[in-house]
Amino acid sequence: MGSQNVEEHDPLVVLEEALRGGITLFQFREKGENALTGEDKLNFAKACQALCKKYHLPFIINDDVNLAIALDADGVHVGQDDASANTVREKIGLNKILGVSTHSLTEVTAAINAGADYVGIGPVFATTSKPDANSPAGTTLIEQTAATYPSLPIVGIGGITIDNCQTVIRAGADGVSLISAIATHNEPFVATRQLLHVLQQVAKIT
């Protein structure tokens, strides 16, 4: 999430409610129209990192490798249009988390070879949070990736809600990554608790 993803709420309040509600990792994604830049972005990132530290959860940064290094973030997430995963791994070293967004089995294999700790696969469903997202791809690549690389952690992304998140886990994902289902909910704490509850139910039976 970034400050551009919330509607009337304070983004730091949304983040703290999500942390209290039970998210397991936060990816700082200050990107796109209305995103903060420069000093404002830096200060907002520091405030998000401090909240994640308070709840003892990983704080990783989307795309901005230099910011991740400057803040000693727990990791970096890159897409296919960002810096190459190989370069990022070299810059951040082996002790940080590296996530890579992928859209084909070839990209998944390349991400593994670059030292990715997990892959993001999406958009599973239609999303309004990323204007340049590909068209919805469903769960096919998640199924193929889970079958080909059983020990590789996979997160599904894109249009995931309380109503469809179980489908993503059943397809073979280990987790879900989402923005609007929490950030634009009236009560982000309640949204997170409900998502967690539904995800725990499916985890028990898969």
Closest separation in Å from C-beta 178 to ligand 3NM:
4
x-or-dash pattern for ligand 3NM, window 59-98, by CB under 6 A? ----------------------------------------
Any known ligand binding at 27? yes
Active site residue 204: no
Write the burial class of residue 91 (CB in 10 Å: 0-12 exposed, 13-18 middle, 19+ buried): middle
Any known ligand binding at 63? yes
When asked if residue 1 is in the footprint of ligand 3NM (CB under 6 A), the reply is: no
Q: Residue 137's beta-bridge partner residues?
A: none
Active site residue 29: yes
Answer for which of 2, 21, 123, 188 binds ligand 3NM (CB under 6 A) is 123
When asked if residue 57 is in the footprint of ligand 3NM (CB under 6 A), the reply is: no
Active site residue 54: no
When asked if residue 129 is in the footprint of ligand 3NM (CB under 6 A), the reply is: yes
Residues 96-115 contacting ligand 3NM, CB under 6 A: 101
Residue 3, φ and ψ in degrees, nearest 5: -65, -25
Starting at the earlier edge strand, list the strands of the sheet with 97-102: 26-28, 59-62, 75-78, 97-102, 118-121, 154-157, 175-177
Write the burial class of residue 142 (CB in 10 Å: 0-12 exposed, 13-18 middle, 19+ buried): buried
Residue at 143: amino acid letter: E
Size of the chain in residues: 206
The catalytic position among 20, 91, 130, 170 is 130
Residues 6+ positions from 170 with CB-CB distance below 8 Å: 202, 206
Answer for which of 130, 149, 193, 196 binds ligand 3NM (CB under 6 A) is 130
Q: Total binding residues for ligand 3NM by CB under 6 A?
A: 16
When asked if residue 158 is in the footprint of ligand 3NM (CB under 6 A), the reply is: yes
Instruction: Identify the CA nearest to 139 among candidates 176, 110, 100.
Output: 176
Residues serving a catalytic function are: 29, 101, 130
Task: Tell me which residues touch ligand 3NM (CB under 6 A).
Answer: 101, 120, 122-123, 127, 129-130, 133, 157-160, 178-181
